[in-house]
């Protein structure tokens, strides 16, 4: 099992999105958990850090679909 953490942070607004990854080499299974800082709201428009995180996750989901 391998693990990685990716953080997308907006230093101006002190907001961050943290994605914890777990990868099982034997089964090629990738799991991830997304955590938003308390001051992030999914009802707001995405800031640049949120846009990057969303783009990154969309890429991962497209890879899963192949």
For the chain, the domains span 2-65
**What is the predicted pLDDT for the residue at 22?**
95
Q: In this predicted structure, what is the pLDDT of residue 64?
A: 74
pLDDT along the chain (66 residues), means of 10: 95 93 92 92 85 92 77
Query: What's the pLDDT at 12?
Result: 92
Helix (H) / strand (E) containing 31? strand 29-36
- For 14-42, b where at least 16 C-beta lie within 10 A, e where not — what string? ebbbebeeeeeeeeeeeeeeeeeeeebee
Question: Which residues is 53 bridged to in the sheet?
Answer: none
3-state secondary structure of 3: strand
* pLDDT at res. 40: 85
* pLDDT given at position 55: 94
């Amino acid at each position: 099992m391998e693990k990685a953490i990716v953080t997308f942070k907006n230093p101006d607004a002190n907001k961050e999105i943290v994605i914890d990854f777990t990868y099982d080499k034997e089964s090629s299974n990738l799991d991830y958990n997304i955590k938003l800082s308390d001051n992030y709201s999914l009802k707001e428009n995405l800031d640049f850090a949120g846009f990057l995180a969303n783009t990154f996750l969309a890429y991962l989901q497209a890879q899963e679909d192949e």
